[in-house]
Amino acid sequence: MKLNLQEDLRDVQDILRLLGSKTRVKILKLISDGGDWTLKDLASKMTTKASNLSQHIDKLEIVGLIEKVREKGTSSKLLIPVYERIIIDIK
């Protein structure tokens, strides 16, 4: 994902606001490192309750940084990073 500060100011602001949370940064780091992650898996890895993470996951999904994809044969949703990198051009 490449954003231009001049043209995409609102998107840049939204993303930077979201990345101001250590929890959301850790979520992105974990799911970007590979493997299949569900909300339950993340909660276990981060030693917290799934209910504590769900609002963070929802916010990351709203701005398009992650997707929730239904895991075949289950009711679980896998958390998938949408972008490998986020580049903000400040020119």
User: For the chain, how many structural domains are there in total?
Assistant: 1
What is the Cα–Cα distance from 58 to 89, expressed in whole angstroms?
26
**Residue 6 sits in which domain range?**
2-89
Tell me the pLDDT tens digit for each residue of 9-48.
788 888 888 889 999 999 999 999 888 899 999 999 999 9
What is the Cα–Cα distance from 14 to 39, expressed in whole angstroms?
23
Tell me the pLDDT tens digit for each residue of 40-76.
999 999 999 999 999 999 999 988 889 999 878 777 8
Please give the C-alpha separations between residue 87 and each of 16, 40, 48, 66, in angstroms, as whole numbers.
12, 30, 30, 16
Evaluate whether 53 touches 44 at the Cβ level (below 8 Å): no
Per the listing, tokens 């929890």 go with: 23
Residue 66, domain CATH: 1.10.10.10
What DSSP element (H or E) covers 69? strand 66-70
**How much is the pTM?**
0.82
